[in-house]
Structure 1
Amino acid sequence: MPRQIILSGHEETLKPAITELIALYQLLEDKDIGTVYSYPPENVTTNRRHEKPKVILFFKSPKPIKKENTRTDRRYEAYVSFRLMNETSETITKTEVETIAQRIKSVFATPPLSWNRGKLFCTYSDWSKGYQFQLIVSSKEEAKKLIKALLKIQGHTPNWAFMNSIENEEAEESFDETPGKKNILGQAVNNPVKRRKIRTLFAYALMYLPPKVDPVVLISIDGRHQNPVVKV
């Protein structure tokens, strides 16, 4: 069965990507090109990103928000993650885990750091240091504030050459806060709100140490998790 590649997005954005994919396929079809790495092959065994400890910071809206087509009011939740590229699940120590937790407490929890979600899409990619952020924010300044705070956890300084942004020319129209309804089987169903403008606050942070399934609770200020590494 042939493999499928599914692309999503605006037509004008997808057209050049589709053209490049077709050209690449025609160029490489039926050719044995071996294995392609994005780094020197001698480093393959040491650059397995998925095996590196993963830190995830979670943020929540201050108040519950009604979810479309349900009777449930829930606090909106967002998260940002990064990898500890200089460690593995076997080499990281309890002391180093506590250090990460203390830094998160200092930067994000006392007081709780807030950031505004919006309609601007920003990325920050520094693969060698474990950063591959994709942020939906209200402005570039808001993205930079969050990126600076995240990098501070490991004592890194941002290189703004690694940051990019994509801004829709008609953002308020493309990501309407009141997108209307559709009639489905005689019932009015609300269209989902995309890129909702909302303020979020830091809530808790976890660390995953693969292949261990259960995460380490680094810090929790919303009462959701028990026995964190550090308390507020």
Structure 2
Amino acid sequence: MSIRDWAAIRRALINGDSYNSEVVAHFGDVNGDSERNAVKNLCLVQSNDSILIAQQRIRFFREEVQKTHLKPTIIGQPKADFDADVKYHPQIFVRLWQDSTAVPVGKFPKSAQFSFRLLDETSETITKDKLNTYARKMYAAFFETQFTFNKGKYIGWYTVPEEGLHLQLYCIDETECERVAKAIVSKLEKVWNEAAFKISKPHRSNLISSEDTITILGRSKQRPQWRPNCTVRATECWACIWAEDEEIPLVSKVNGTYRPIIRSSM
């Protein structure tokens, strides 16, 4: 690679919506936290970095900070295989994530999501212009002021099939289940139907102590926590369209998301 080529790549990593902005978004506001600020600076590509130094910074961020090599195993099915079996109306998802600063050491951030179907659309009728419109609506509803709720073991169910709604919301208590369900219905410009709402109240405890350990393959580790309590915030929104190979990002606060229609700052 020529020096000129490397200089162009380095500028792309440093400027705009690229690697350095992803690092800044990950660390958030580090004012007053000298150690966290120092780690952030280790990850940022600098204007005089060589290729080797830049690669080491990126690898440090991915492997030691984000720990991308330790992502949880997902048990699922490729979209193409699912689409071959089932035909469906377009669906819009909102995913919420726990703040990285609130994640206990050695744990993965928790997530939540809800979705609704566009019953007046099909894969053949949906258009890019309509997706742009939905992206703007979802941004205004859930991202301009970041939608947040307290996740837990209770389940709030809100099911109105004729409106494409089947919400299954895991919340910290019954009050939060109802608040979140009503907020989503309102933001989607639907009329609340009291008869469509119910709550599942499990008796099982979702708390776990540091002494609650198990032994797996000769190693002691903490037992997996069932439906832990945590705060989650709206971070991503995408559309899932039958027979379209990839999900289509509508709104994202994650800099690593590839070309969302609307990219929102953290």
The question of 1:189 aligning with 2:221 is answered: yes
Counterpart check, 1:56 vs 2:98: no
The answer (yes or no) to whether the contact 2:156–2:178 under 8 Å persists in 1 is no
Compared CA separation, residues 91 and 78, structure 1 to 2 (3 A) = same
In structure 2, distance between residues paired with 1:151 and 1:92 = 22
The one-letter code matched in structure 2 to 1:218 is L
Query: Which one-letter code corresponds to 1:208 in the other structure?
Result: C
Contact 2:156 2:181 in 1 (8 A): no
Q: How far does the alpha carbon of each residue in 1:68-102 deviate from its partner, in whole angstroms, 9 at most, with x for none?
A: xxx5x432222112211111011123232222111
Q: How many residues align?
A: 178
User: 1:133 maps to which residue?
Assistant: 167
Equivalent in 137, 148, 165 of residue 199 of structure 2: 165
Deviations 1:180-206 (A, max 9, x none): 112345432321101100000110101
TM-score, scaled to structure 2 = 0.60
Please give the alpha-carbon distance, in whole angstroms, between the structure 2 residues aligned to 1:90 and 1:189.
50
Q: Cα offset for 1:66?
A: 4.3
Distance (whole Å) between structure 2 residues aligned to residue 101 and residue 93 of structure 1: 12
Residue of structure 1 aligned with 2:231, choices 184, 194, 199: 199
1:85 aligns with 2:119: yes
Q: What pairs up with 1:211-226 in 2 under 5 angstroms?
A: 211-226=243-258
Q: Give the gaps of 5 or more residues in structure 2.
A: 1-85
Q: Is the 8 A contact 1:56 1:206 kept in 2?
A: yes
Separation in 1, partners of 2:256, 2:175: 30
Task: Tell me which protein shows more strand as a share of its residues.
Answer: 1
1:63, 1:162 → 2: CA distance?
35
Give yes or no for contact 1:121–1:165 (8 Å, CA) kept in 2.
Answer: yes
Look up the match of 1:175: 206
Residue among 218, 228, 232 paired with 2:260: 228
Q: Tell me if the contact between 1:100 and 1:153 (Cα under 8 Å) persists in the aligned partners.
A: no
Distance 1:201 1:104 in 2: 14
Give the 3 Å change call, closer, same or farther, for CA 185–207 of structure 1 in structure 2: closer
CA distance in structure 1 between the aligned counterparts of 2:220 and 2:263, rounded to whole angstroms? 47
List structure 1 runs of 4+ shifted beyond 6 angstroms: none
Shift of 1:157: 1.6
Report the AA paired with residue 202 of structure 2. N
Structure with the largest fraction of helix: 2
CA distance in 1, matches of 2:89, 2:256: 25
From the superposition, tell whether residues 182 and 74 of structure 1 become closer, same or farther in structure 2 (CA, over 3 Å): closer
One-letter amino acid of the structure 1 residue matched with residue 212 of structure 2? G
TM-score, normalised to structure 1's length?
A: 0.68
Give how far 1:214 is off: 0.7
Q: For 1:131 and 1:50, locate their aligned partners in 2 and report how far apart those are by CA, in whole Å.
A: 17
